[in-house]
Structure 1
Amino acid sequence: MKIFKSIINIVLTLIIVICAYKIIHQLKEYNDADKVYNLIREEKEESDNLFEKNIDYRGWIKIDNTNINYPILQGQDNEEYLYKDINNEYIVSGSIFMNYLNNGFDDQNTVLFGHNMKNGTMFANLKKYKEEDFFYNNNYIEIELSNGQYLKYKVFSVYITDINDNYTKTSFEDKDEYKEFLERIKNKSIYKSDISVNENDKIITLSTCSYEFDDARLVVTGKLIDKEQ
């Protein structure tokens, strides 16, 4: 019996040690990722030559009252920057990246992806849009392009969907198809917006993982309302 208890104690101790190691390792990875992005922000403020660092750099996204303040990259596919930063090095949080099918921000629908990190970084703060007050009072998405141009979008829809939805479609055969697409987005929104959107508008779609069900996605969509050089 004593031997059995000793074995149990050893097993429990090993489990605790392994769990503690995993937690410490994860926290270190999160901390390392934060350091990387803080350095990138400093570099942007000092020289703003991120395109020279990586030709996949497409711009910078910022949303007030959130932690979203990151460079935007675009790979050869939608896997390339899942766990890679602007320096082409591994990073647990990956990058904010554009749908590889997009032609910069020129398409009808520009789609950006980002991880929903447990420490609130990357696109985790998009969940704030599920709160009614935040949806109506913090609805501007700001983009600075690599050429210095500024784009401003106003959020008009937030909804939960799955990976089989076609919300990541970037361009459409005709205006009727695009109009139907926009109507579906507005109808799916958790909250109703008085922002009018039509087939002549361009939109931005922000997507991150959500956990209401398997393969759920939280999607925030905004209409382009301003463009400045």
Structure 2
Amino acid sequence: MKIFKSIINIVLTLIIVICAYKIIHQLKEYNDADKVYNLIREEKEESDNLFEKNINYRGWIKIDNTNINYPILQGQDNEEYLYKDINNEYIVSGSIFMNYLNNGFDDQNTVLFGHNMKNGTMFANLKKYKEEDFFYNNNYIEIELSNGQYLKYKVFSVYITDINDNYTKTSFEDKDEYKEFLERIKNKSIYKSDISVNENDKIITLSTCSYEFDDARLVVTGKLIDKEQ
């Protein structure tokens, strides 16, 4: 009996040690990722030569009253920057990246992806849009392109969907198809917006993982309202 208890104690101790190691390792990865992005922000402020660092750099996204303040990358597919930073090195949080099918921000629907990190970084703060007050009072998504141009979008929809939805479609065969797409997005929104959207508008779609069900996605969509050089 004593031997049996000793074995159990050893096993439990090993489990505790392994769990502690995993937690410490994860926290270190989160901390390392934060350091990397802080350095990138400093570099942008000092020289703003991120396109020279990586030709896949497409711009910078910022949303007020969130910690969303990141470079945007675009790979050869939608896997390339899941766990790589602008230096093309491994990073647990990956990058904010554009749908590889997009032609910059020129398409009818520009789609950006980002992880929903447990420490609240990357696109985790998009969940704030599920709060009614935040949705109505924090409308603006700001994009600075690699050529220095500024784009401003106004949020009109937030909803939960799944990976089989075609919300990531970037261009449409005709205006009728696009109009139907926009109407569906507005109708799916958790909250109703008085922002009008039509087939002549361009939109931005921000997507991150959500956990209401398997393969759920939280999607925030905004309408392009301003473009400045």
- The aligned counterpart of 1:204 is 204
Aligned mates of 1:139, 1:154 — CA distance in 2: 5
- How far the C-alpha of 1:182 sits from its partner, in A, is 0.0
- How far the C-alpha of 1:149 sits from its partner, in A, is 0.1
Aligned mates of 1:203, 1:41 — CA distance in 2: 26
- The aligned counterpart of 1:167 is 167
- The aligned counterpart of 2:3 is 3
- How far the C-alpha of 1:228 sits from its partner, in A, is 0.2
Aligned mates of 1:24, 1:192 — CA distance in 2: 43
Aligned mates of 1:138, 1:121 — CA distance in 2: 18
- How far the C-alpha of 1:100 sits from its partner, in A, is 0.1
- How far the C-alpha of 1:96 sits from its partner, in A, is 0.1
Q: Deviations over 1:14-50 (max 9, x none)?
A: 0000000000000000000000000000000000000
SS at match of 1:204: strand
- How far the C-alpha of 1:116 sits from its partner, in A, is 0.1
SS at match of 1:84: coil
Aligned mates of 1:65, 1:7 — CA distance in 2: 52
Aligned mates of 1:57, 1:139 — CA distance in 2: 25
Aligned mates of 1:20, 1:65 — CA distance in 2: 33
- How far the C-alpha of 1:10 sits from its partner, in A, is 0.2
SS at match of 2:110: strand
Aligned mates of 2:201, 2:64 — CA distance in 1: 23
- How far the C-alpha of 1:158 sits from its partner, in A, is 0.1
Aligned mates of 1:16, 1:202 — CA distance in 2: 52
Q: Deviations over 1:63-106 (max 9, x none)?
A: 00001000000000000000000000000000000000000000
Aligned mates of 2:163, 2:194 — CA distance in 1: 27
Q: Deviations over 1:158-208 (max 9, x none)?
A: 000000000000000000000000000000000000000000000000000
Aligned length: 229
Q: Give percent identity, aligned residues only.
A: 100
SS at match of 2:221: strand
- How far the C-alpha of 1:148 sits from its partner, in A, is 0.1
Aligned mates of 1:2, 1:23 — CA distance in 2: 32
SS at match of 1:12: helix
- How far the C-alpha of 1:111 sits from its partner, in A, is 0.1
Aligned mates of 1:67, 1:18 — CA distance in 2: 32
Aligned mates of 1:199, 1:115 — CA distance in 2: 30
- The aligned counterpart of 1:193 is 193
TM-score normalised according to structure 1 size: 1.00
- How far the C-alpha of 1:130 sits from its partner, in A, is 0.1
SS at match of 1:105: coil
Aligned mates of 1:110, 1:88 — CA distance in 2: 23
Aligned mates of 1:16, 1:131 — CA distance in 2: 37
Aligned mates of 1:175, 1:109 — CA distance in 2: 13
- How far the C-alpha of 1:52 sits from its partner, in A, is 0.0
SS at match of 1:60: strand
- The aligned counterpart of 1:88 is 88
Q: Aligned-residue CA RMSD in angstroms?
A: 0.2
Gaps of 5+ in 2: none
Q: Deviations over 1:101-129 (max 9, x none)?
A: 00000000000000000000000000000
> Structure 2 matches for 1:95-134, cutoff 5 A?
95-134=95-134
- How far the C-alpha of 1:6 sits from its partner, in A, is 0.2
- How far the C-alpha of 1:13 sits from its partner, in A, is 0.1
SS at match of 2:60: strand
